[in-house]
Amino acid sequence: MSSKNIITVFGATGIQGGSVADIFLHDQKLSSDWTVRAVTRDIAKESAKKLRKQGAEVIAADLNDKSTLIKAMDGAAAVFAVTNYGEKWDMKLEIQQGKNLVDAAKEAGVQHFIWSSLLNIAKLSDGKLPNVYHFDSKALVEDYAREVGIPATFLLAGSYMSNLPGSAFRRDPQADNAWILSLPVSDKAILPVFDAAADTGKFIKAAVLNRDKVLGKRLLGATNYLTNAQIVEGFKKIFPEAGKTASYKQLPDDVFREFWTKYQGVPDYVAQALLENMHLLEQFGYFGGKSLDETHALLEDKLTTWEEYAAKTSKWGEKLK
């Protein structure tokens, strides 16, 4: 009996990486052929211990130390790599970490490197949205992977459904406590909605099962495209009582920026990046207007709808049903 393939999963205790580790550990088709090498910085934390109990090999590695990355990828047939811009809000650091991962994959001889990427918005917008650093940094790493010539696929994660309940979509004390979705774009702005925790692994499963077909290609990680108005309608459908007075309200840009700087404590340049990220939805499209059909045709597993996510999440801060 031949030994199983190894998939090295970076960020295995995070949202995207956790989803990938989970499906490779528990999916009937994958678990018979693959074993998970889960990479995290702290192997002593509870989430890492849980992965070990579920059958993963759990190891530590540092994205700033290429030698640890090579060791983590040694003997792996596939790698899922992700970085976290929000940890330091540092574009240069994220690019360097991404390049370290690419270089390590090349040195380790990885035959399928799957990078969690995004579009280059400065380029897509022809310079009109020049500050969406958390997109552009990942896109520049994708460019580097293509230049280096490693066998790679690029997953572009859509707009996290988890970012809506309790933050952008919450009760407004100034509107008789009604539920209001507030963003600095109109109700016609389009989001590619994505339950990253539940569904990232489904896309990576499709990638490894269709390796030759997806090498050099982008997979668009989203269930579907929804306008802000449709997101509110979905909420009303799931929570008819709470949704009676639910509505959409466009925020002024300065109010949105102030929320992030004053109440979330981020630097001004990050608030501007998040604002331009919002304007992207209406002006150029999160995925540049591309259809999701080609990606969806590769999937074997049903994706989570916005209504399903809204019904199951505890992020509303109260029981609505």
- DSSP codes, 156-205: EE-EEGGGTBTTTEEEEGGGTTEEEEEESS-TT-EEEEE-HHHHHHHHHH
CATH number at residue 117: 3.40.50.720
Tally the C-alpha atoms within 13 A of residue 186's C-alpha that lie toward its C-beta: 3
Residues 6+ apart with CB under 8 A from 152: 105, 112, 113, 114, 115, 145, 146, 215, 216
C-alpha torsion sign, points 309, 311, 314, 316 = positive
Give CA–CA dist 81/31, Å, rounded.
20
In a domain, 82, yes or no: yes
Partners of 250 in the β-ladder = 183
pLDDT digits (tens, 9 = 90+) for 66-79: 999 999 999 999 99
Give CA–CA dist 277/42, Å, rounded.
31
What total number of domains does the chain contain? 1
Q: How many CB atoms lie within 10 A of CB 262?
A: 10
Q: Is residue 168 packed enough to be buried (19+ CB in 10 Å), middle (13-18) or exposed (0-12)?
A: middle
pLDDT digits (tens, 9 = 90+) for 211-236: 999 999 999 999 999 999 999 999 99
In a domain, 151, yes or no: yes
Which residues form the domain of 29? Answer: 5-158+195-222+288-303
Give CA–CA dist 286/119, Å, rounded.
8
Q: What pTM, to 2 d.p., does this model score?
A: 0.97
Residue of 15, 25, 9, 20 whose CA lies nearest to 59: 9
Answer whether residue 59 shows pLDDT above 80.
yes
**Average pLDDT taken over every residue of the chain:** 97
In a domain, 104, yes or no: yes
Answer whether residue 43 shows pLDDT above 90.
yes
In a domain, 115, yes or no: yes
